[in-house]
């Protein structure tokens, strides 16, 4: 046997028909014989189909009537199909159990949300971290139970590239949450406990702030005495040069301490920068005039400013952004070089760029340039002054204004630093004024 | 067929409206919670800027109350809800009033914090106020959770917390009176402390009210102005109808 049902059926029918026709020929009454064959075939099929249907419906694993004759292959096919489905089901069950168990054992919380931000599923860690009830809270809107305003705003913002840090429902805990959209409008909320990190970070910040404050007063005393010594006419000639050098170093330490304090204040400020209108064009004009009075400076310091564009933020912080960038450009550009500042706006917000023809930064070091005390060429940088904290301050101050720093540079050809301010922080002067150079 | 589709559509829209309303109440609750937390923080740490910010931000709470109130009136007028829907709307209208009052008390605490920050700080650094503040914050948090989960049992447990808050308030008041008798120079500072404690105690009462609305919403029984045993009977009896 073997082959498809159709061929088996065809052979059997042909054989039966041949037998019937022979019988009809020999015995006579051909039509009756043929009719009998037809009735037999129909009855046989009806009965067989009914047994099959019954067997399928009762869903018994194996039936005594596994079918004989032509229907046997169908039975065995169905049995095979069923077995395969059963095996697959078992595998899925095992997989699902493993996934459940492993996510349950995870330290990070996971919450699956649907398009309406209703909870579909959560693991135990999420329940513990967010004070949710794993059994009861399914179907609840997540913001009904996690009501912290910054979290609600984060969900509404529809931009989930960044993580959000927020206090947890249990006193003194800190959580870091991120929403990951996937598949059919579903979202996965990842919750991490960052209490320890936040505490360590706070300790570090406090230490830097306190240490810089403590360093301030001894430095003032030393500086004061050195000033007195420098003015002293009776100072032996051999000491004059060292005293001047000491004064220079004290001044440098002072500016490092000052920058450290600025930086730790910027870091400690949890809230975003304020929203006072800041007259950036006037500020840039002033900075340019200051730069022009320097004894050694690049030949050309250009300023191209859109006078109608302002930024809402904190004046002092923005001032340190622009002055640090300008000072860097002046410091690393030779006297025959060129520094060009631009202040303009477009659809995405306000922008400040400063391009120099200085020494440039090797490309692989650009990502590290805003780190504290990072120097491209340590010997040279110390020679030209600077604290090594300027760009770190720029970065933090910009972050507080929702801005970004973009750096393009080629060694030997110069660098361009661009600050991008978002549209919601850009202001425009109501009355258009005639721009003055 | 068409009519059936339409009615289902309307009720779905109605459900969505109710759900949005509930979300609104709870996000207002979240704002109030964080206002309260900042206010207590401002007192305990002595951060006058934070205190003033709380006072300045109270307008946000008020604005949300007005918005939700309008939405409630609109639903009452257009949908004419009945039974549990009506109870939900009524409970929401009352809840947002209490939330708004909690916001006002937080504003007051913020003001007092900025005033206290400029005065001499006591050696215990307002530990009692912090404990009371923590309890009250827990009450507000739990009452809003009970509201979200429609959990009458949790609401009942929160109502019971109020006795503890009242006790703590009493002990702070007694302590303040002792301070003032001992050293009249501290009177102006201690008066401010008393007001902060008073505001916190009032917030506890408002949280208790919200819990009572939750019980009303779930069981349809008004349990205001009854003692906690009566409430308990009501909740347990209602739990298995």
* Span A383-408, pLDDT tens digits: 666 778 888 889 888 888 888 899 98
Predicted confidence at residue A432, as pLDDT, reads 47
Which band of pLDDT confidence, cut at 50, 70 and 90, is reported for residue A380? low
3-state secondary structure chain A: CCCCHHHHHHHHHHHHHHHHHHHHHHHCCHHHHHHHHHHHHHHHHHHHHHHHHHHHHHCCCCCCCCCCHHHHHHHHHHHHHHHHHHHHHHHHHHHHHHHHHHHHHCCCEEEEECCCCEEEEECHHHHHHHCCCCCCCCCCEHHHHCCCHHHHHHHHHCCCCCCEEEECCCCCCEEEEEEEEECCCEEEEEEEECHHHHHHHHHHHHHHHHHHHHHHHHHHHHHHHHHHHHHCCCCCHHHHHHHHHHHHHHHHHHHHHHHHHHHHHHHHCCCCCCCEEECHHHHHHHHHHHHHCCCCCCCEEEEEECCCEEEEECHHHHHHHHHHHHHHHHHCCCCCCEEEEEEEEECCEEEEEEEECCCCCCHHHHHHCCCCCCCCCHHHHHHCCCCCCHHHHHHHHHHHCCCEEEEEEECCCEEEEEEEEEHHHEEECCCCCCCCC
Which band of pLDDT confidence, cut at 50, 70 and 90, is reported for residue A276? confident
Show residues of chain A in contact with B144, CB under 8 Å.
Answer: 147
Mean pLDDT of B174-185: 90
Mean pLDDT of A206-212: 87
Show residues of chain B in contact with A141, CB under 8 Å.
Answer: 19, 22-23, 26
Predicted confidence at residue A433, as pLDDT, reads 47
Predicted confidence at residue A296, as pLDDT, reads 80
pLDDT in tens, A283-315: 998 888 888 888 888 888 888 888 888 888 888
Alpha carbon of B23: minimum distance to chain A alpha carbons (Å): 6
Show residues of chain A in contact with B26, CB under 8 Å.
Answer: 141, 143-145, 147
In the predicted structure, residue B104 carries a pLDDT above the cut 90: yes
In the predicted structure, residue B123 carries a pLDDT above the cut 80: no
Identify which of B27, B141, B145 has the shortest CB distance to residue A152. B27
Predicted confidence at residue A437, as pLDDT, reads 37
Mean pLDDT of B170-180: 91
Identify which of B19, B34, B134 has the shortest CB distance to residue A148. B34
Alpha carbon of A119: minimum distance to chain B alpha carbons (Å): 13
Which has more confidence, B179 or A59?
Answer: B179
Alpha carbon of B26: minimum distance to chain A alpha carbons (Å): 5
In the predicted structure, residue A117 carries a pLDDT above the cut 50: yes
In the predicted structure, residue B2 carries a pLDDT above the cut 50: no
Predicted confidence at residue A382, as pLDDT, reads 61
In the predicted structure, residue A64 carries a pLDDT above the cut 80: no
Alpha carbon of B96: minimum distance to chain A alpha carbons (Å): 15
pLDDT in tens, B223-241: 777 777 777 777 776 544 4
Predicted confidence at residue B4, as pLDDT, reads 39
Say yes or no: ipTM exceeds 0.90.
no
Residue of A nearest to B145 (CA): A145
Predicted confidence at residue A270, as pLDDT, reads 65
CB contact under 8 A, A149 and B148: no
In the predicted structure, residue A1 carries a pLDDT above the cut 80: no
Which has more confidence, B154 or A161?
Answer: B154
Which band of pLDDT confidence, cut at 50, 70 and 90, is reported for residue A122? confident
Q: In chain A, positions 125-184, which contact chain B (CB-CB < 8 Å)?
A: 131, 133, 136-137, 140-141, 143-145, 147-149, 151-152, 169, 171
Predicted confidence at residue A213, as pLDDT, reads 86
CB contact under 8 A, B27 and A148: no
Give percent of chain A above pLDDT 90. Answer: 8
Which has more confidence, A60 or A28?
Answer: A28
Predicted confidence at residue B29, as pLDDT, reads 93
Show residues of chain B in contact with A171, CB under 8 Å.
Answer: 134
Task: For an interface test with A, give the residue of B148, B151, B153, B210 to mutate (most A CBs within 10 A).
Answer: B148
**A-B interface: how many C-beta pairs under 8 angstroms?**
40
Predicted confidence at residue A376, as pLDDT, reads 76
Identify which of B22, B26, B134 has the shortest CB distance to residue A147. B26
pLDDT in tens, B27-80: 899 999 999 999 998 998 888 888 898 998 899 999 999 999 999 999 889 888
Which band of pLDDT confidence, cut at 50, 70 and 90, is reported for residue A431? low
CB contact under 8 A, B141 and A169: yes
Mean pLDDT of A6-13: 82
């Amino acid at each position: 046997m073997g082959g498809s049902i159709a061929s088996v059926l065809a052979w059997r029918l042909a054989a039966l028909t041949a037998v019937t026709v022979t019988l009809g020929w020999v015995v006579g009454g051909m039509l009756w014989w043929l009719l009998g064959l037809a009735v037999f075939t129909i009855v046989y099929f009806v009965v067989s189909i009914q047994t099959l249907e019954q067997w399928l419906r009762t869903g018994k694993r194996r039936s005594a009537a596994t079918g004989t004759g032509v229907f046997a292959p169908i039975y065995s096919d169905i049995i095979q199909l069923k077995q395969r489905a059963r095996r697959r089901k078992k595998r899925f069950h095992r997989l699902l159990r493993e996934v459940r168990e492993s996510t349950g054992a995870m330290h990070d919380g996971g919450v699956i949300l649907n398009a309406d931000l209703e909870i579909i599923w959560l693991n135990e860690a999420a329940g513990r971290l967010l004070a949710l009830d794993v059994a009861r809270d399914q179907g609840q809107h997540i913001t009904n139970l996690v009501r912290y305003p910054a979290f609600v705003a984060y969900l509404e913002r529809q931009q989930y590239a960044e993580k959000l840090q927020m206090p947890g429902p249990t006193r003194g805990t800190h959580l870091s949450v991120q929403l990951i959209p996937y598949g059919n409008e579903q979202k996965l909320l990842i919750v991490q406990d960052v209490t320890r990190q936040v505490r360590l970070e706070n300790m570090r910040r406090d230490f830097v702030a306190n240490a810089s404050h403590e360093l301030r007063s001894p430095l003032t005393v030393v500086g004061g005495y050195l000033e007195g010594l420098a003015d002293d006419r009776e100072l032996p000639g051999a000491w004059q040069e060292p005293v001047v050098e000491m004064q220079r170093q004290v001044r440098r330490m002072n500016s490092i301490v000052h920058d450290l304090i600025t930086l730790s204040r910027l870091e400690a400020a949890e809230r975003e920068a304020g929203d006072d209108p800041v007259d950036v064009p006037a500020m840039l004009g002033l900075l340019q005039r200051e730069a022009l009075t320097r004894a050694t400076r690049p030949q050309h310091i250009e300023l191209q400013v859109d006078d109608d564009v302002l930024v809402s933020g904190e004046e002092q912080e923005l001032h340190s952004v622009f002055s640090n960038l300008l000072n860097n450009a002046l410091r690393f550009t030779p006297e025959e070089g060129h520094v060009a500042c631009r202040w303009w706006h477009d659809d995405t917000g306000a922008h400040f760029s400063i391009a120099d023809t200085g020494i440039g930064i090797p490309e692989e070091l650009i990502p590290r340039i805003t780190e504290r005390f990072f120097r491209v060429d340590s010997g040279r940088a110390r020679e030209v002054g600077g604290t090594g904290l300027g760009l770190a301050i720029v970065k933090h101050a910009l972050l507080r204004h929702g801005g970004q720093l973009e750096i393009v540079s080629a060694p030997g050809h110069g660098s361009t630093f661009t600050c991008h301010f978002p549209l919601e922080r850009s202001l425009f002067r109501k009355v258009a004024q005639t721009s003055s150079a | 067929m068409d009519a059936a589709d339409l009615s289902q559509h309307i009720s779905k829209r109605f459900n969505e409206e109710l759900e949005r309303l509930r979300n609104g109440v709870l996000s207002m609750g979240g704002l109030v919670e964080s206002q309260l937390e900042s206010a207590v923080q401002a007192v305990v740490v002595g951060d006058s800027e934070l205190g003033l910010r709380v006072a300045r931000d109270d307008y946000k709470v008020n604005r949300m109350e007005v918005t939700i109130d309008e939405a409630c009136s609109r639903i009452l007028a257009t949908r004419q809800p009945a039974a549990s829907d009506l109870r939900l709307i009524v409970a929401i209208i009352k809840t947002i009033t209490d939330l708004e009052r909690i916001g006002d008390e937080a504003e007051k605490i913020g003001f007092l914090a900025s005033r206290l920050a400029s005065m001499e700080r006591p050696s215990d650094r307002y530990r009692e106020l912090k404990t009371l503040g923590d309890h009250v914050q827990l009450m507000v948090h739990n009452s809003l959770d009970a509201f979200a989960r429609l959990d009458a049992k949790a609401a009942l447990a929160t109502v019971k917390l109020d006795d503890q808050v009242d006790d703590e308030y009493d002990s702070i008041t007694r302590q303040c009176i002792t301070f003032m008798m001992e050293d009249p120079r501290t009177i102006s500072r201690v008066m401010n402390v008393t007001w902060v404690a008073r505001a916190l105690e009032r917030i506890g009462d408002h949280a208790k009210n919200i819990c009572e609305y939750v019980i009303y919403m779930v069981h349809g029984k008004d349990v205001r102005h009854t003692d906690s045993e009566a409430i308990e009977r009501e909740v347990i009896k209602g739990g298995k109808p």
